[in-house]
Chain A
């Protein structure tokens, strides 16, 4: 099962290694990982997407809690989180096909961020399924390169008082 973990950590050297090595030790492959500072500059949030059974994952989250630099660990409930990822697609685009590609990008509210002699680079954000659909369509033209930020997520404000 796919889990999205949101891990709040002290913004210090070496913390990312401490976190990821716990996954490596268990043989879990991390599907995506995004790190950045938070509203508090001394803290960073790490969003980790990992495919794992519940029981071993629970063990890893408990181990994460034990790391001295880890402040908080949440296994986000897919129904109660908002998640986004940003992707850059560099797509083969000979001049005669540019138009088509731009149209596909528009349907998904993608933005053209670079135009080359034979390529277009499109920026897109969204949840996983939308980005997968885009990728699928761009494949027909030939994708030269993809870069993705990895998923970031926050729990929804539902339960706020």
Chain B
């Protein structure tokens, strides 16, 4: 049967098992939209801005583990996705972005709504394609999904000129295999290095597992837990690794870095063996590189060889899939009959945990953002909950006070730090996980970057919840200005009253609630969570609350501002206990 390119595209998406995609139409995308009209399987969510489509596809991918898909028109449609693509690229999220393009005959002539989107996205995609013939489409789509979802995942863009969508193909056949000569990710760790790693772990007195997004991407949470429990290794997870290890576990020692708890950063500084898995030694984690984990040997497991040794020299590099490698290391340790020897190290850490917990001043009538997040955490305990965040203080408080218990239940823009990510990501997650309670913890600044997507949630019956920690400021910017720029609140002042978020919610036919006192928090949150539809809670919080503790930009991670006084690490070591560790 003859089909046109657009129909072939839709069949290819169906063959990939795509059940929902996010997009926005326009002139040269119309042949594709016509083919979607005819498809029974493909559900298409019409967003209100193409950036939202990209973030929704990203949120869908993070929450389900499947590749997210979005479709937009040429020119402005395509450029509007750029932030979303960069966001997915920085966080290694599998995504296929389909952009319609002007006809091949006018490519490169500045035709109406033409932009060179493959050129623009060259540095922010794992790969991209410009399709020149309809007959190539099935093969290209096959390759796009393969590249996006394997190895180190990432966004792949496919640019489809309108004559390609309209072009006829004699018959549709979807290839079963892909052959890309230059693309063969290494997934199994080198046996010798795995053995070396196991030997170091067996010997270490003060080991730390430092787990990141790679653990989530490879589905290695179970393997991580097995290794940690076998050898009683304390575990930290990065912002991207949250959910890779249950945060209510005794061995969980927090998120390291700029706004991590002091005890986490002390442990990272004092460790003698850093077992880094699927992480990239980001500057928000390491602070000053020279003093980061400087007493420690480093094992680095990553599927991307370019990450290994990029920022920090490594003693045992292992290129491979986190899940395979962790399982192999655990098997090796079992074979060696290695015994855990971290009891005393855990006592040191416990002592730090006891003396330097996360803390804020609870007294008084003020409504504090930390309290709101704590209540979200408590009121969702035991439920199938997915938490998204925006960017800024809200994100950091969410990191500190919401305990993520399982993989793919945490959506936060890590590498790019994109304000406006949370709401569309939550929408994407809800589309992929209709049964979950999906909550976006937001700032009043960030939510206004993508608030038009309130319409999308309502119209598609995606009952996401938005809790705004409304401080009337670009809070994180204000905090830096307070601490490092003499309180010059230059252009960081918003308003707690404008917009009236409750009215905004109501305008989109959402439930809108307002909270101004600590005593009102629970009732409002419960009402929102139980509401059969999307709901927004505007929490008018203390405007000038800061996120503490904090590593000053470029500082050593053991020298933190705020929080319970203590530090640097040299003052924090209980010599007696430490000598014990070494005995």
Contacts and interface: CB of A to CB of B under 8 A. Distances in A.
Interface stretch (A10-18, A28-36, A147-155): A10-18
Contacts of B180: 68
B182 A14 contact: no
B305 interface: yes
A18 B118 CA distance: 11
A65 B180 CA distance: 13
A17 B182 contact: no
Contacts of B305: 62, 65
B263 to A, nearest CB: 33
Interface string A15-31: 00110010001000000
A126 to B, nearest CB: 32
Nearest to A22: B123
B118 A63 contact: no
Given A62-B305, A65-B305, A65-B306, A71 B182 contact: yes
A59 B310 contact: yes
Interface string A45-75: 0000000000000010011011111110000
A58 to B, nearest CB: 8
A121 B122 CA distance: 41
Contacts of B182: 9-10, 67-71
Contacts of B147: 68
Contacts of A18: 122
A116 to B, nearest CB: 37
A11 to B, nearest CB: 11
Interface residues of A, number: 18
Interface string A68-94: 111100000000000000000000000
Interface string B156-185: 000000000000000000000000111100
B200 interface: no
Contacts of A10: 181-182
A21 B123 CA distance: 8
A62 B122 contact: no
B222 interface: no
Interface in B95-129: 118-119, 122-123, 126-127
Contacts of B181: 10, 71
Contacts of B126: 68
B304 interface: yes
A59 to B, nearest CB: 6
A158 B147 CA distance: 37
Contacts of B127: 67-68
Interface SS majority for chain B: mixed
Contacts of B304: 66
Please tell me the size bucket of the interface on B. 10 to 19
B552 interface: no
Nearest to B185: A66
Interface in B283-327: 304-306, 310
A14 B310 contact: no
A107 to B, nearest CB: 44
Nearest to B143: A68
A68 B304 CA distance: 13
B130 interface: yes
A63 B306 contact: yes
A86 to B, nearest CB: 29
A70 B123 CA distance: 15
B123 A62 contact: no
Contacts of A21: 122-123
Among A9, A17, A62, A70, residue most surrounded by chain B Cβ atoms (within 10 Å): A62
Contacts of B310: 59
B186 to A, nearest CB: 11
Among A14, A17, A63, A68, residue most surrounded by chain B Cβ atoms (within 10 Å): A68
A66 B306 contact: yes
Contacts of B306: 59, 62-63, 65-66
A71 B184 CA distance: 10
A66 B304 CA distance: 8
B291 to A, nearest CB: 20
A18 B246 CA distance: 40
A108 B90 CA distance: 53
B461 to A, nearest CB: 39
B301 to A, nearest CB: 16
Contacts of A68: 126-127, 147, 180, 182-183
A144 B432 CA distance: 67
A102 B511 CA distance: 90
Contacts of B123: 21, 25
A61 to B, nearest CB: 9
Nearest to B307: A62
A14 B183 CA distance: 17
Interface string B239-256: 000000000000000000
A70 B181 CA distance: 8
Q: List 8 A-B pairs, minimum CB-CB distance, nearest first.
A: A62-B306, A68-B127, A71-B182, A70-B182, A68-B183, A63-B306, A62-B305, A71-B181
Given A21-B122, A59-B310, 16 more contacts: A9-B182, A14-B118, A14-B130, A17-B119, A59-B306, A62-B305, A62-B306, A63-B306, A65-B305, A65-B306, A66-B306, A68-B126, A68-B127, A68-B182, A68-B183, A71-B182
11 contacts: A10-B181, A17-B119, A17-B122, A21-B123, A65-B306, A68-B126, A68-B127, A68-B180, A68-B182, A68-B183, A71-B182
